Amino acid sequence: MFVEFRSRGPAPRNEFLGRTPALVLVDSGSDVTMLPRRFARPLRISLDEGAVETISGAGGAPVRCFPRVELEARLCSGWVRLPVRFFASETRTGGLLGRAGAFEALRIAFDHSQALMYAAPASSR
């Protein structure tokens, strides 16, 4: 799905710094949202090569990424704050929408027989 992300400056001003849409795969196995590093530039996020960390990915595979940053994502017509990491590799092209922040804000249902996902704000009944 396409998700619009935006970044804000520090308090107290909290001004908008950058904004970008990104194609992400909804990944219930991912703790946090992961974006390819090319999205850091339009979001005006500075990535420090010296801060690259290795975390466990799918099946325990090592994944090199930058430390978490706080972004906002437009999910079901509302803005949600969530932690995001940027992949350190330049070759990663797709992003992952992880559980932290996103899954608390949404009610999600997967229809595997039709390969569909349904999402609505968690507050709607």
For the segment 78-98, what is each residue's pLDDT rounded down to a tens digit? 999 999 999 998 888 889 999
Q: Whole-angstrom Cα distance, residue 5 to residue 73?
A: 5
Amino acid residing at 62: P
CATH number at residue 82: 2.40.70.10
- Per-residue confidence band for 124, with pLDDT thresholds at 50, 70 and 90: low
Nearest to 35 by CA among 22, 16, 46, 47: 22
Q: Is the predicted pLDDT of residue 125 greater than 70, yes or no? A: no
Strand partners, 24: 95
Tell me what pLDDT residue 57 has. Answer: 82
pLDDT at 13: 83
Contacts of range 69-72, beta carbons closer than 8 Å, 24 or more positions apart: 69/7, 69/45, 71/5, 71/6, 71/7, 71/33, 71/43, 72/5, 72/6, 72/7, 72/8
Q: What pLDDT, on a 0 to 100 scale, did the predictor assign at position 66?
A: 96
Tell me the pLDDT band of 49, cut-offs 50, 70 and 90: confident
Average pLDDT, the chain: 89
- Note the pLDDT tens digit of each residue in 11-23: 788 888 899 999 9
How many other C-beta atoms are found inside a 10 Å radius of the C-beta of residue 11?
6
At 116 the pLDDT is 79
- What percent of the chain shows pLDDT beyond 70? 98
Domain around 12: 2-121
- pLDDT tens column, 63-72: 999 999 999 9
Spell out the residues 6+ positions from residue 4 whose beta carbon is closer than 8 angstroms to its own: 19, 20, 21, 22, 73, 74
> For residue 103, how far is the Cα from the chain centroid?
11
Q: Are 81 and 101 in contact (CB under 8 A)?
A: yes
Number of domains in the chain: 1
